[in-house]
Amino acid sequence: MVTPLTVLLYASVAALASVPGGLVRWSADIRRNRWIGWAHALAAGGMLGAAFVLTVVPGVAPLAAAAGGVLGVAFIVLTHSFTGMETLDLSRPDRADPTAAARLVVTHSLHASTEGVAIGVAMAVDLSLGVFMVLAIAVHNIPEAALLGGATRRGSEGGVRPMGLALLSNLGQPVFAVAVWILISAAPEFLPWALGFAVGALLNLVMTELLPAAYREVGSTSIGVVASVALALIVLLGNVLP
């Protein structure tokens, strides 16, 4: 039996996965390096896989889901205009702009909230899909936290702050996971909308943030291989595990 507490615990695991990501940046400076491109590509493939797994949930009204998807895309577009994120890039922070780090954290928090919606929806469909979604998002949080930690760190500051920031900006995941789960449990007719919203937002995050950032670092061949293999692995796990 899934309760709000179960959802909270699982979604917190996903958010906690950002801690080792913060450590990566702390111990070795790998900025402006092909590894950053591959980390983005890995995260992109993983999120595409998570979106795919949601699209094959049976018995979801396609029109409502597609409408939710359009809302999800619109949400990310609005988020970017709101924070002026268009000129910001996790891996290429503008050090002259003191608000850049703050805007990054705000943007990343909104970004993490949409992942929380995905976890909440998956938990509402069934527990095994929910756990699977938690794993997919947790894995994706690791490289993401590493990138965020690197972008917000200045000078020789210690690693505690980037780690704390990464964790803080991922708090939206458990909060939104629980909120969406409660909403769907109370009113199941929202399921297709929330599911579509999560898919649209995940897709647009991949297309607007992760992939362009990945292509800026490394050539499209290795980005293509990393992202498509990551997608294939998530699709396979989504098919074999639950």
Partner 1 sequence: MSDVVLVFAYGLVTAVATGLGALPFLFVRTVSGRTVGRMNAVASGLMLGASFGLLAEGTRFGGWQTFVGGFVGILFILATNRFLHEHHFRPGVTGGGDGLRRMVLIVTVMTVHSFAEGVAIGASFGGGMALATFITIAIAVHNIPEGVAISAVLRSNGVSVARCAGWSIVSSLPQPLMAVPAFLFVGAFAPALPYGIGFAAGAMVFMVLLEVLPEAYGKGSAREVGAITSLSMIAMILFQKVVAG
CB of 56 to partner 1, least distance (A): 5
Q: In a 3-state reduction of DSSP, which class is residue 219?
A: coil
Q: Cα separation of 128 and 203, whole Å? A: 22
Selected from 69, 116, 130, 172, the binder of partner 1 by CB under 8 A is 69
Name 49's Cβ contacts closer than 8 Å, sequence gap at least 6.
136, 230, 231, 232, 233, 234, 235, 238
Binding segment for partner 1 (CB under 8 A), chosen from 94-102, 109-117, 183-191, 223-231, is 223-231
Answer yes or no: are the C-beta atoms of 26 and 208 closer than 8 Å.
no
Site membership for partner 1, residue 103 (CB under 8 A): no
Applying CB under 8 A, which of residues 46, 150, 174, 200 lies at the interface with partner 1? 200
The CA-CA-CA angle for residues 55, 57, 60, to 5°, reads 90
Return the number of the residue (2 or 235) whose C-beta is nearest partner 1.
Answer: 235
d(CA 179, CA 95): 36
Which residue among 36, 65, 104, 123 contacts partner 1 (CB under 8 A)?
A: 65
Q: Which residue's entry shows tokens 């993490």?
A: 112
H-only helix segments in 32-190: 34-55, 62-83, 99-125, 127-152, 160-169, 172-186
Q: Is 96 exposed, middle or buried (0-12, 13-18, 19+ CB in 10 A)?
A: exposed
118 binds partner 1 (CB under 8 A): no
**Position among 9, 28, 160, 229 found at the interface with partner 1 (CB under 8 A):** 229
CA atoms within 13 A on the CB side of 163: 15
Site stretch for partner 1 (CB under 8 A), options 32-40, 50-58, 127-135, 181-189: 50-58
Structure tokens given for 175: 């909060």
Quote the CA–CA distance of 14 and 115 in Å, as a whole number. 10
Work out whether 228 is an interface residue with partner 1 (CB under 8 A). yes
The answer to whether the beta carbons of residues 39 and 146 sit under 8 Å apart is yes
Given the complex with partner 1, which of 9 and 229 has the nearer CB atom? 229
Q: Pick from 13, 19, 52, 94 the residue near partner 1 by CB under 8 A.
A: 52
Taking the C-alpha atoms of residue 77 and residue 73, their distance in angstroms, rounded to an integer, is 6
* 136 belongs to the binding site for partner 1 (CB under 8 A): no
Q: Should residue 78 be labelled a site residue for partner 1 when binding is judged by CB under 8 A? A: no
Kindly state whether residue 128 participates in binding partner 1, applying the rule CB under 8 A.
Answer: no
- If the CB atoms of residues 58 and 158 are measured against partner 1, the closer one turns out to be 58
Of 55, 105, 168, 182, the one binding partner 1 by CB under 8 A: 55
Residue numbers of the site for partner 1 (CB under 8 A)?
Answer: 48, 52, 55-56, 62-63, 65-66, 69-70, 73, 76-77, 80, 86, 196, 199-200, 203-204, 207-209, 211-212, 215, 220-221, 223-225, 227-229, 231-233, 235-236, 238-240
